[in-house]
Amino acid sequence: MIKALRGMKDIEDPRFLKIFDTTREIAENYGYSYIETPILEETSLFKRSVGESSDIVNKEMYQFTDKGGNDVCLRPEGTAGVVRSFIENKHDRQQSAKRVWYFGPMFRYERPQKGRLREFHQFGIESFGEASVYEDINVITMAADIFDALGIDYTLKINSLGCGECMPKYRKKLVGFLNTHKESLCEDCQRRITQNPIRTLDCKNENCQALLKDAPKITDNLCEECSKDFETLKKGLENLDISYEVDKNLVRGLDYYTKTTFEFISTEIGAQSAIAGGGRYDRLVEFLDGRPTPGVGFAIGVERIIELVKTNDKRKGIYIGVMLENALEFAQKKAKNLRNNEKVYFEPKVKSLKAHLKAADKGNYKKAMIIGEEELKNKTFFEKEM
């Protein structure tokens, strides 16, 4: 028997579509338009944006050479492709803001476990051209609105990674600290000192965690502008009654972030607790050869929230059934006409009244319309509110 690949799943849960509908409606209410980018992109796009030293690019890419000899890979995330499209379609040359949302599969060759798949779906948004920190607040508010609409509890963690001015100075300070403790750090962190020192801050190794408690923190080393923006961000969230925690070690697994970073965490789903993540990436467009354009966005992991979605099991639609073969045509036509206004299920099997009512109940229909001999004569239905 052929089975689905490890870490890949069929999705039949109706809550998947509920997430799609809810995210779509809220994104469009915020003025975002839909974008669909290819699932396959040139490998260099992810190397240059997500970062060569990130786990995603280093270990987790579905990368191969296609029949034309091109080095391609299945997208591990959505931002890079959207930025590629933004530049390719010359939106970076216009002065106006552009805001898009997407929903689709992402691929990461990770070790499958609860909450960690090799093919998973993200709903995401990207906002281009607006440097104001109020845009960050707007973006975070949208994520909060989505979780509220789906009935999902969360903790919001925020941090700032600084800009091109303060981040390099901070990185130097951190490297100094790391070098004085090099021997006590895990192997990965020793490598990170030269490759990506910031990532040591969220190392899962207990030893490193204890040691890094005394490391200099980026939020204590922000330049004046970044520091002011971070304060405005906090005040702005408070103004909208969105609770948050400052997590000074929140650095995220992708290299393109500057300034605001954030994650939404759920305590109800086990170790893989991040249900959404995002932040600002003011240098990414330029880095991918576009004109300098600020950007900010986030993505929600659909499979991670699917079981947290509260469904309202309200009865919906009409069930139409026949008790004799002769009534099939009449009943099917009735179903077709009623379907103009609402959900109608037509059962093509002839059954007893009792069996039809049982099926209508099981299918969660709000009304059953059944036709027997007497009803067919009068061109009517036996109707029952379920």
CA gyration radius, the chain: 26
* CA separation for the pair 170, 162 (Å, rounded): 9
Strand order in the sheet with 98-107: 33-34, 98-107, 119-128, 295-301, 274-280, 258-265, 155-160, 245-246
d(CA 77, CA 369): 48
Tell me the CA distances in angstroms from 69 to 64, 66, 81, one per residue in order: 9, 5, 21
- Binding status of residue 116 toward ligand HAM by CB under 6 A: yes
Contact between 77 and ligand HAM per CB under 6 A: yes
Tell me the HSE value of 181 on the side-chain side, using a 13 A CA sphere: 19
Instruction: Answer yes or no whether residue 129 interacts with ligand HAM by CB under 6 A.
Output: no
Residue choice 27, 61, 83, 117 for contact with ligand HAM (CB under 6 A): 117
Q: In 3D, which of 182, 188, 210 has the Cα closest to residue 200?
A: 188
Chain residue whose CB lies nearest ligand HAM:
301
User: CB of 302: closest distance to ligand HAM in angstroms?
Assistant: 8
**Pick from 108, 192, 217, 356: which binds ligand HAM (CB under 6 A)?**
108
Contact flag: residue 140 with ligand HAM (CB under 6 A): no
Collapsing DSSP to helix, strand or coil, 178 comes out as helix
Q: Is residue 317 exposed (0-12), middle (13-18) or buried (19+ Cβ within 10 Å)?
A: middle
Q: Is 120 in the site for ligand HAM (CB under 6 A)?
A: yes
Should residue 275 be labelled a site residue for ligand HAM when binding is judged by CB under 6 A?
Answer: yes
Minimum Å distance from CB 259 to ligand HAM? 12
What residues numbered 295-354 form the site for ligand HAM, per CB under 6 A?
A: 297-299, 301, 303-304
- 118 or 356: CB nearest ligand HAM: 118
Count of residues making up the chain: 386
Q: How far is the CB of 297 from ligand HAM (least distance, A)?
A: 3
CB of 176 to ligand HAM, least distance (A): 29
- The binding site for ligand HAM (CB under 6 A) comprises 77-79, 108, 110, 116-117, 120, 122, 124, 126, 253-254, 274-279, 297-299, 301, 303-304
